[in-house]
Amino acid sequence: MAGPLTVNVKPESFDIPDFGKIYVSGAVTGLFFAEDTLFPGDRHDLADVSNAQVFVQKVDGTLQFFIEAGAYSLPALGAPYLTAGNATRDFYGPMPQAFVKIAPNSSFSIEAGKLPTLVGAEYTFTFENLNIERGLLWNQETAVSQGVQLNYTAGPVTLNASWNDGYYSQRFNWLSGAATWTINSSNTVELVVSGNLGTTDYSKSLATPIYQNNNQQLDNLIYTFTSGAWTIQPYIQYTDLPARAAIGVAKDTTSFGAALLVNYAVPNTSFNVSGRVEYISQSGSAGDGSADLLYGPGSNAWSFTLTPTYQSGIFFTRAEISFVQASGTTSGLAFGLMGTSTSQTRFAVEAGILF
């Protein structure tokens, strides 16, 4: 949970003799969504379920686990919207995350299963983030991977390493690592390095974009500042896709992005105001053999998102306005039914319970 939403601090729990305490919680949320420039298959406005999920977990002892089950949608800036039914079917299925964890002590643990990614500053599901929609940089990142992860903490430093299938490809040729330094209670710096060590010449589903899944590098540098009512998180992202004949990429293609996420908790109220600004660009030009990672080789885009949030106990509601502007686009690969528009404005409202 990146905030400003918070989970139920007193979820249902059950004691199982000789095993331990099991916690059951969840998210039931609805979404109203409107946009001015349509992608093929989109509508100008719609109402949908954004989450209907249950979480079952054991969080202490040597043997722990986490299971997330249900339906979800994954709204993201600058990309078509898939309804919860289609997103659940076409991305990670009705159990998007599930893993077991062996924690012999408080410093070391091993996880295996369907794992949340180490990459990026935004999480997969709407309720986990500052904004309803994930951003342009998130569109380039892994979200859920299948594999094994090792975690080690020594004082202010946390190290993570994962062997996984990248963009949910079921080919285990990705390595991901993160190093986090908690400088003090207000300042944290994290370095994430990941990439495909081989070639994956197929796409299993919408969760496995073939170009991104063959990135040799997908790296982040993330800084987080927290003080009083403010949380400020700038980060940068770099990707490198080498030329790979097996997937039709004739020229090395890179992308670079930078984002700033900000949240302000209005004092003495239950309101938060969150904002995000981003810029992302990719190398290449039309016809030079570069891959299309954005809106055509050589394209770039920036975005702005503003999201006020109100939460009272397990209930919350929030509204959002976002804008994306692209340039250097290739005709047919940008916004609009013909792929020739260069901007899009969206409005969203989400409400529900985190029980």
Domain limits, the chain: 12-354
Which CATH class, in words, describes the domain spanning 12-354? mainly beta
pTM: 0.95
235 pLDDT more than 90: yes
Q: What average pLDDT does range 241-267 have in this prediction? A: 97
Chain center to CA of 153:
24
d(CA 234, CA 183): 16
> What pLDDT, on the 0 to 100 scale, is given for residue 94?
98
Helix (H) or strand (E) holding 87: helix 84-90
d(CA 42, CA 51): 19
Vertex 293: Cα angle to 292 and 297 (nearest 5): 45
Q: What is the mean pLDDT of the chain?
A: 97
pLDDT per position as a tens digit, 303-342: 999 999 999 999 999 999 999 999 999 999 999 999 999 9
Structure tokens at 258: 């930078």
Helix (H) or strand (E) holding 182: strand 174-182
Instruction: pLDDT band for 250, please (50, 70, 90 cuts).
Output: very high
9 pLDDT more than 90: no
18 pLDDT more than 90: no
More confident residue, 139 or 204: 139
Q: What average pLDDT does range 107-111 have in this prediction? A: 98
Q: What average pLDDT does range 208-216 have in this prediction? A: 97
Q: What average pLDDT does range 10-30 have in this prediction? A: 94
Instruction: pLDDT band for 204, please (50, 70, 90 cuts).
Output: confident
Q: Which of 127, 140, 1, 2 is nearest to 74 (CA)?
A: 127
Helix (H, G, I), strand (E, B) or coil at 129: coil
pLDDT per position as a tens digit, 165-182: 999 999 999 999 999 999
